[in-house]
C-alpha cells in the first residue's frame, strides 16, 4: 500500500475525503492545491498531512513533490458546469497542461498514478449503464460545455500514452456524480441550500434527467483500493453507483428530509440558449466492483442527510 501519497486537488470534495482515507491506513499525505475551489479548512489537522499551496501547471514544483512521494493521485481540475461555461479556457488548460506535467513526472520518476476523469466523456445516452469499452463521444467543441470533457479526454489519452511508451503504472477513474458535504456548484448542495432557505427548489426543465450519485466517502474508498492496482498498460474504470434517480425525485427527497412544506418550482433549461443538457447518466460498475471488491456503503438518503446537517450548521449564525 502507499506510504506517502501526493494528492493534487486535495483540498476539494474528493481530495479531502481521500486524505482522511489515506490517514486511516497510516499513510502520509502531501497535498498540492491552488485553493481555486477547495479550502484548506477541509483538510484534517494532522501531523501526517502536509499542504503546499501551488498550481499543477508549475512544472518544477510538481517534479519536486512527485519525488517526495511513492504514489500520485491527480484530482486538481477546474470543474462545475457553471464555472466551465463562464471560464472554459481555464478548465481546458488544466486538463491539458496540468495533466501532462503530472503524468510526465510520475512516468519519469516511476510513481504509480491515479488520474481523475469524468463520465462527461460519454456524452448523452438512452439511459443504459455506460461501460468503459464504449466509445467516448460528447458533442461539438463549439459548445463550451464540452471543453471540460474534451480536456479530460485529452488527459486520459496523455496518461495512457505515458503508460504505453514509458511504462507508467496508471489508473484512470471516470467519476459519476460524486457528492458530499463540502461540495459547491452542483445540484445536491444547490437543492439543500434552497430547501434550508425555505424554497422553492428550482428544477430545470421537466426534472426527468437522471443521475446516479455516489457518496464521497465511497468514492474515496474506491480510489484508495484502486491505487495499488495500477497495471502495466493502464486501467480504465468507472467510479460510481448504479442507482439512477431523476432530478425531480432528488428534489423531492431533499424537500422531504428538510421540510415537506417547501415548494418545488420548474424552470427553463439551465445555462441559457445553446447549452446542451445531458439527459441520462448511469455507470456500469462491474469492472469497479471486480477490481476493488467493494460495494457502496452509503445510500442516497444517508448522503443527503450528511449534506443537510453540514450545510445547516454552516448557515446557522454562531
Ligand X SMILES: NC(=O)c1ccc[n+]([C@@H]2O[C@H](COP(=O)([O-])OP(=O)(O)OC[C@H]3O[C@@H](n4cnc5c(N)ncnc54)[C@H](O)[C@@H]3O)[C@@H](O)[C@H]2O)c1
- Is 246 near ligand X (CB under 6 A)? no
Query: In this chain, which of 2, 38, 189, 199 binds ligand X, going by CB under 6 A?
Result: 38
Q: Cβ 8 to ligand X, closest distance in Å?
A: 6
Q: Cβ 154 to ligand X, closest distance in Å?
A: 13
- Is 236 near ligand X (CB under 6 A)? no
Q: Cβ 3 to ligand X, closest distance in Å?
A: 23
In this structure, which long-range contacts are made by residues 260-266, counting pairs with CB atoms below 8 Å and at least 24 apart in sequence?
Answer: 262/194, 262/195, 262/198, 262/199, 262/200, 262/201, 263/199, 263/200, 263/201, 264/199, 264/200, 264/201, 264/203, 265/199, 265/200, 265/201, 265/202, 265/203, 266/203, 266/204, 266/205, 266/206, 266/207
Which of residues 185 and 256 has its CB atom nearest to ligand X in the complex?
185
Q: Cβ 260 to ligand X, closest distance in Å?
A: 28
| 246-to-207, 249, 307 alpha-carbon distances in Å | 6, 5, 19
Which of residues 26 and 297 has its CB atom nearest to ligand X in the complex?
297
Peptide bond into 179 cis (omega under 30): no
Q: How far apart (Å, rounded) are the C-alpha atoms in residues 123 and 279?
A: 9
Q: How far apart (Å, rounded) are the C-alpha atoms in residues 59 and 102?
A: 8
- Is 177 near ligand X (CB under 6 A)? yes
Query: In this chain, which of 5, 7, 28, 37 binds ligand X, going by CB under 6 A?
Result: 37
> Candidates 77-85, 134-142, 261-269, 280-288 — which segment interacts with ligand X by CB under 6 A?
77-85
Query: In this chain, which of 98, 189, 244, 296 binds ligand X, going by CB under 6 A?
Result: 98
Which of residues 254 and 262 has its CB atom nearest to ligand X in the complex?
254
- Is 9 near ligand X (CB under 6 A)? yes
Q: How far apart (Å, rounded) are the C-alpha atoms in residues 262 and 255?
A: 6
- Is 33 near ligand X (CB under 6 A)? yes
- Is 13 near ligand X (CB under 6 A)? yes
Looking at residues 46 to 75 of the shown chain, list those that interact with ligand X (rule: CB under 6 A).
55-57, 75
Q: How far apart (Å, rounded) are the C-alpha atoms in residues 162 and 143?
A: 29
Cα dihedral across residues 177, 269, 152, 7: positive or negative = negative
- State the residues that interact with ligand X by CB under 6 A: 8-9, 11-15, 32-38, 55-57, 75-79, 94, 98, 116, 118, 175, 177-178
Amino acid at each position: 500500500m502507499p506510504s506517502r501519497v501526493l494528492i493534487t486537488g486535495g483540498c476539494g470534495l474528493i481530495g479531502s475525503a481521500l486524505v482522511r482515507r489515506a490517514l486511516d491506513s497510516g499513510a502520509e499525505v502531501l497535498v498540492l492545491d491552488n485553493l481555486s475551489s477547495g479550502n484548506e479548512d477541509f483538510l484534517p489537522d494532522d501531523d501526517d498531512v502536509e499542504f503546499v499551496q501551488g498550481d499543477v501547471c508549475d512544472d518544477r514544483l510538481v517534479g519536486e513533490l512527485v519525488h517526495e512521494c511513492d504514489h500520485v493521485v491527480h484530482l486538481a481540475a477546474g470543474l462545475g458546469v457553471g464555472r466551465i461555461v463562464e471560464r472554459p479556457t481555464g478548465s481546458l488548460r488544466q486538463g491539458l497542461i496540468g495533466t501532462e506535467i503530472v503524468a510526465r513526472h510520475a512516468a519519469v520518476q516511476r510513481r504509480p498514478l491515479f488520474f481523475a476523469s469524468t463520465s462527461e466523456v460519454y456524452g448523452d445516452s438512452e439511459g443504459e449503464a455506460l461501460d468503459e469499452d464504449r466509445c467516448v463521444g460528447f458533442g461539438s467543441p463549439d459548445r463550451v460545455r464540452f471543453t471540460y470533457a474534451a480536456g479530460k479526454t485529452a488527459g486520459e489519452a496523455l496518461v495512457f500514452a505515458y503508460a504505453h511508451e514509458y511504462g507508467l503504472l496508471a489508473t484512470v477513474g471516470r467519476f459519476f456524480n460524486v457528492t458530499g458535504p463540502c461540495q459547491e456548484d452542483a445540484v445536491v448542495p444547490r437543492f439543500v441550500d434552497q430547501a434550508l432557505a425555505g424554497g422553492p427548489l428550482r428544477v430545470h426543465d421537466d426534472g426527468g434527467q437522471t443521475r446516479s450519485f455516489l457518496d464521497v466517502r465511497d468514492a474515496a474508498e474506491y480510489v484508495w483500493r484502486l491505487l495499488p492496482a495500477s497495471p502495466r498498460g493502464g486501467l480504465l474504470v468507472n467510479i460510481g453507483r448504479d442507482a439512477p434517480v431523476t432530478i425531480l425525485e432528488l428534489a423531492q427527497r431533499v424537500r422531504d428530509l428538510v421540510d415537506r412544506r417547501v415548494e418545488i418550482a420548474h424552470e427553463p433549461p439551465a445555462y441559457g440558449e445553446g447549452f446542451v443538457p445531458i439527459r441520462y447518466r448511469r455507470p456500469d460498475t462491474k469492472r469497479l466492483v471486480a477490481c476493488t471488491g467493494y460495494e457502496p456503503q452509503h445510500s442516497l438518503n444517508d448522503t443527503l442527510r450528511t449534506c443537510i446537517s453540514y450545510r445547516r450548521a454552516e448557515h446557522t449564525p454562531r
